[in-house]
Copies of this chain bind each other. A is one copy, B any other.
Amino acid sequence: MQDIAKINSGVQDYYSENFAQCYGCGRLNEFGHQIKTNWDGDETVTFFASKKFQTAVPGVVYGGLLASIIDCHGTGSASLALARANGIVLDEFNAPRCVTASLKVDYKKPTPIDIPLEIRGVIKEVKGRKVIVEARLIANGEICVTGEIIAVQVFDDFGK
């Protein structure tokens, strides 16, 4: 896991330009979080560090940000799952791009700020364009948030 933590690339680096603008995970969004999602065996993983002002109450990370990171980790995981299911070897810029149809987040305990966060995903289902991902967010070895994302693959006409 230490090796993965050091890798500063992820499936998001293989999105086409139009799909790489996302505030959560787009490599081309200079203002965004630029999260990176990778396989770790059969699970997916993203690491994230929040900023001090991204707070709910002092000392606790803002829940909306946690939902956002779980959301983007979910679509990144879905992209990895679709690539694996369809035998796609990631290259510039062929990663399947998914958006979220539905996001469910349960806050189990306050997430401490100023601590590296680990978000892990399990692929529950891949069916055509649809992928279901279960996620858990871990701080200090404890699960603070769980989530389920239903992601759907989109193509260049999305949002147009």
Contacts and interface: CB of A to CB of B under 8 A. Distances in A.
Contact of A18 (B29, B57, B67, B160): B57
Contacts of A29: 53, 55
Interface stretch (A2-10, A77-85, A99-107, A129-137): A99-107
Interface in A64-80: 64-65, 67-69, 71-72
A51 to B, nearest CB: 8
Nearest to A105: B103
Contacts of A90: none
Interface string A17-34: 011011110000111100
Interface of A: 18-19, 21-24, 29-32, 53-60, 62-65, 67-69, 71-72, 99-107, 110, 158-160
The 9 A-B pairs with the shortest beta carbon distances in the complex, nearest first, are A64-B68, A23-B62, A60-B159, A110-B159, A31-B53, A67-B67, A103-B105, A64-B71, A104-B104
